[in-house]
């Protein structure tokens, strides 16, 4: 996501704003390098964005979390230690306490190992911060799944369904309590899910309270209630986010140099709408501008200098649509500044490292003097150096050098400006002459071009905020449907989404860098994600169970339970396999 000091990157001291908000949300996606969005992270190789100052950079890609689906209720012999279930009460309680003690000690043991590693590598504070953030991310995901299952539970009780167990987590039971009505409540060792087990849900039962013996419309209500609870919680979280920090919009953190003085955005503008479409997420920018040509004019509502105004923007280039999450073409058309970012490198021949950001060319002979804000002082000759926006700028510079010449760059590395240089050799010149990509010629195996957007928080009136809360939630849901469609049609590759592990890691990183506002933001994203995903007609999910119930309503005859059970089992295996696959693809 970001380097450890990336959230402190100063704005250049050339008249640009230095008061960018520090509490901006991740991008609409699930996988966010860069500072704009990120649950829903990145496309291709995940790289760290050193310029991500509370949403100062944009990237392509979204993160889809195929998790949190309806999980089959365990059978009697899956409720933990069977011997504990048959043991006398006191013995059962003791075993429950022992399991809880072991689980707690395991967690403490992991933190101890992580802490020792941090001490050995002299990164104790950073390592423990990351570990704590990941633990918090796991808790967020567990709460969301528990809320989902509680939706099934409470509607089931209200409608008179028989419920055998409500469980938080999976695996061995570490705590259990049986109610006077025989209903079992358990807490299990693995905080990666949960379930609400209904009587007769997956088999035949003569009981009138059995799941499959209840009226179809009642079953549909119970099945949909989990997703509804997730969506309602997401609405509440967004309301809290907007109430405390303000409504979420986008705006340019830095504009390209050499733009005309009129009909352009300015640094610090808050973009409320583009061409009539309210801009909440990166995908809104793409949707508003896709297909437009260079020289066309679009109308934008912006907040400039604290006042809302309408301006005309002349597009600097064509807007080519790649996919819903690729904001690069639209950003170029609007004149948003960018920089090439190094993802991974092969060897150290030219001295580049993962996370390096190309920022300017460099003329040797002067020392860089930084001001109190960490940026070069206004009088520094640094500002006269040519700005690097694209990889083509690097190629043009290197092509003009001869073998034996030194190449000089200002990079941003490890949270500060870095004077980098290397000698141009025969291999580099030959590679460039042969048409080899300049980044590959420099031994950089993956890279991206990041755009300097930032998420802006603005407090609006009560009714506008209220409307924005629901619009924002539905916009997230719409984006998820778009991404799913593009995955199915092949527009997006599987490496642009992530599974449960990716979600937890990225959520933890976002929380660590962004604080409480990011926690609210990403929890709301996960809530909407779970609501939408669980209602899809995919076997093993609530949506497919609704479909089977509708079939029963229409044909007055249910699908044989054995056939339905096999379909759900196969679907669950495929879902788990898909989640593992997309997590593995994030490694490459």
Distant-in-sequence, close-in-space partners of 39: CB < 8 Å, separation ≥ 6:
26, 27, 28, 29, 30, 31, 32, 63, 65, 503, 506, 507, 510, 522, 525, 526, 529
Provide the 10 A C-beta neighbour count for residue 92: 18
Q: Where are the alpha helices (DSSP H) in 246-345?
A: 282-289, 328-334
Of the candidates 403, 400, 411, the residue with the CA atom closest to the CA atom of residue 339:
411
Rg (CA), the chain: 27
Residue found by looking up tokens 């250049």 in the block: 12
Provide the 10 A C-beta neighbour count for residue 283: 26
The span from the CA of 377 to the CA of 364, in Å, is 17
Residues, the chain: 588
Residue 321, token pair as written in the block: 């649509």
Burial of 9 (0-12, 13-18, 19+ CB in 10 A): buried
Residues of the chain with CATH 2.30.42: 338-451
Q: How remote is the C-alpha of 484 from its chain's centroid?
A: 15
What global pTM score does this model have? Answer: 0.72
User: What's the fold here for domain 338-451?
Assistant: Pdz3 Domain (2.30.42)
Q: Where are the alpha helices (DSSP H) in 290-447?
A: 328-334, 391-399, 426-433, 438-441
Residue found by looking up tokens 């499959």 in the block: 212
Alpha carbon of 233 to those of 148, 240, 506, 532: distances in Å?
Answer: 10, 11, 21, 13
What does the DSSP 8-state code read for residue 338? E
Give backbone dihedrals phi and psi of 311, rounded to 5 degrees, phi first.
-130, 160
Q: Do the beta carbons of residue 401 and residue 428 sit within 8 Å?
A: no
Q: Do the beta carbons of residue 342 and residue 444 sit within 8 Å?
A: yes
The span from the CA of 545 to the CA of 272, in Å, is 40
Of the candidates 513, 508, 581, the residue with the CA atom closest to the CA atom of residue 114:
508
Q: Do the beta carbons of residue 77 and residue 511 sit within 8 Å?
A: no
What does the DSSP 8-state code read for residue 450? E
Q: Do the beta carbons of residue 323 and residue 491 sit within 8 Å?
A: yes
Q: What pLDDT is attached to residue 161?
A: 92
Tens of pLDDT along the chain (588 residues) come to 434 333 334 445 343 333 333 333 333 333 333 333 333 333 333 333 444 333 333 333 333 333 333 433 334 334 444 444 444 444 444 444 454 445 555 555 554 554 555 555 555 556 666 667 777 778 888 888 999 999 999 999 999 999 999 999 888 888 889 887 788 999 888 887 888 989 887 777 788 888 888 999 999 999 999 999 999 999 999 999 999 998 888 889 999 988 887 888 998 899 999 998 988 888 889 889 988 999 999 999 999 988 999 999 999 999 988 887 788 999 999 999 999 999 989 888 899 999 999 999 999 888 888 887 777 887 788 888 999 999 999 999 999 999 999 999 999 998 889 999 999 999 999 999 998 999 999 999 999 999 999 888 888 888 888 999 999 999 999 888 888 888 888 777 766 677 777 777 777 777 777 778 888 888 898 899 889 989 999 888 899 999 999 999 999 888 888 888 888 888 888 888 888 887 777 766
Torsion of CA 514, 28, 417, 253, to 10 degrees: -100
Q: Do the beta carbons of residue 329 and residue 318 sit within 8 Å?
A: yes
* Residues in a beta bridge with 506: none
Residue 328, token pair as written in the block: 């690069």
Q: What pLDDT is attached to residue 438?
A: 94
Give backbone dihedrals phi and psi of 435, rounded to 5 degrees, phi first.
90, 10
The span from the CA of 484 to the CA of 558, in Å, is 30
Burial of 251 (0-12, 13-18, 19+ CB in 10 A): buried
Q: How remote is the C-alpha of 318 from its chain's centroid?
A: 28
Residue found by looking up tokens 């808050």 in the block: 270
Concatenate the DSSP letters of all residues of 453-519 into one string.
EEEEEE---HHHHHHHHHHHHHHHHHHHHHHHHHHHHTSS-GGG---HHHHHHHHHHHHHHHTHHHH
Q: How remote is the C-alpha of 280 from its chain's centroid?
A: 15
Distant-in-sequence, close-in-space partners of 281: CB < 8 Å, separation ≥ 6:
27, 28, 37, 250, 475, 476, 479
Return the H-helix or E-strand segment holding 149. helix 124-158
Residue 491, token pair as written in the block: 């527009």
Q: Do the beta carbons of residue 322 and residue 307 sit within 8 Å?
A: no
Dihedral class, residue 414 (left if φ above 0, else alpha if ψ from -120 to 50, else beta): left
């Amino acid at each position: 996501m970001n380097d450890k000091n990336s959230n402190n990157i100063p704005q250049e001291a050339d008249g640009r704003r230095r008061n960018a908000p520090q509490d901006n949300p991740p991008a609409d996606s699930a996988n966010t390098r860069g500072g704009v969005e990120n649950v829903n992270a990145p496309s291709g190789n995940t790289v760290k964005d050193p310029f991500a100052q509370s949403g100062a950079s944009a990237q392509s890609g979204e993160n889809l979390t195929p998790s949190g689906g309806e999980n089959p209720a365990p059978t009697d012999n899956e409720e933990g230690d069977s011997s504990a279930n048959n043991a006398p009460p006191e013995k059962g309680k003791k075993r429950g306490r022992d399991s809880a003690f072991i689980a707690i000690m395991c967690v403490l043991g992991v933190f101890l190992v992580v802490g020792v590693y941090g001490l050995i590598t002299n990164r104790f504070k950073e390592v423990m911060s990351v570990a704590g953030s990941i633990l918090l991310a796991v808790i967020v995901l567990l709460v969301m799944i528990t809320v989902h299952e509680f939706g099934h539970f409470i509607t089931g009780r209200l409608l008179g369904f028989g419920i055998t167990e409500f469980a938080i987590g999976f695996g061995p039971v570490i705590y259990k309590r049986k109610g006077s009505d025989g209903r079992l409540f358990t807490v299990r060792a693995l905080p990666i899910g949960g379930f609400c087990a209904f009587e007769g849900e997956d088999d035949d039962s003569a009981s009138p309270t059995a799941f499959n013996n209840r009226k179809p419309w009642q079953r549909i209500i119970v099945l949909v209630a989990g997703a509804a609870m997730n969506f309602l919680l997401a609405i509440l979280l967004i309301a809290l986010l907007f109430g405390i920090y303000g409504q979420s919009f986008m705006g340019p953190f830095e504009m390209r140099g050499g733009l005309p003085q009129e009909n352009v955005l300015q640094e610090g503008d808050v973009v409320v709408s583009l061409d009539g479409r309210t801009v909440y997420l990166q995908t809104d920018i793409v949707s508003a501008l896709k297909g437009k040509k260079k020289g066309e004019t679009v109308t934008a509502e912006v907040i400039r200098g604290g006042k809302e105004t309408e301006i005309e923007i002349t597009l600097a280039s064509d807007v080519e649509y790649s996919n819903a999450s690729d904001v690069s073409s639209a950003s170029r058309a609007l004149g948003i500044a960018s920089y090439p970012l190094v993802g991974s490198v092969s060897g150290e021949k030219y001295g580049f490292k993962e996370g390096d950001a190309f920022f300017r060319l460099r003329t040797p002979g002067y020392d860089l003097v930084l001001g109190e804000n960490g940026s070069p002082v206004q009088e520094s000759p640094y500002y006269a150096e040519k700005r690097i926006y694209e990889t083509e700028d690097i190629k043009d510079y290197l092509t003009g050098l001869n073998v034996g010449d030194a190449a000089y760059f200002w990079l941003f590395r490890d949270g500060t400006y870095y004077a980098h240089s290397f000698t141009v050799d025969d291999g580099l010149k030959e590679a460039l002459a042969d048409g080899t990509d300049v980044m590959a010629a420099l031994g950089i195996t993956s890279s991206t071009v990041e755009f300097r957007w930032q998420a802006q928080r603005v407090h609006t009136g009560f009714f506008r905020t209220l409307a924005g809360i629901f619009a924002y939630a539905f916009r997230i849901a719409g984006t998820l449907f778009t991404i799913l469609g593009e995955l199915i049609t092949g527009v997006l590759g599987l490496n642009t989404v992530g599974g449960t592990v990716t979600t937890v890691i990225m959520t933890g990183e976002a929380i660590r860098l962004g604080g409480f506002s990011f926690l609210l933001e990403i929890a709301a994203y996960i809530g909407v994600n779970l609501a939408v995903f669980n209602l899809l007609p995919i076997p093993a999910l609530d949506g497919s169970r609704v479909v089977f119930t509708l079939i029963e309503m229409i044909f007055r005859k249910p699908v044989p339970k054995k056939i339905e059970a096999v379909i759900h089992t196969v679907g669950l295996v495929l879902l788990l396999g898909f989640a593992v696959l997309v997590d593995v693809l994030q490694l490459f």
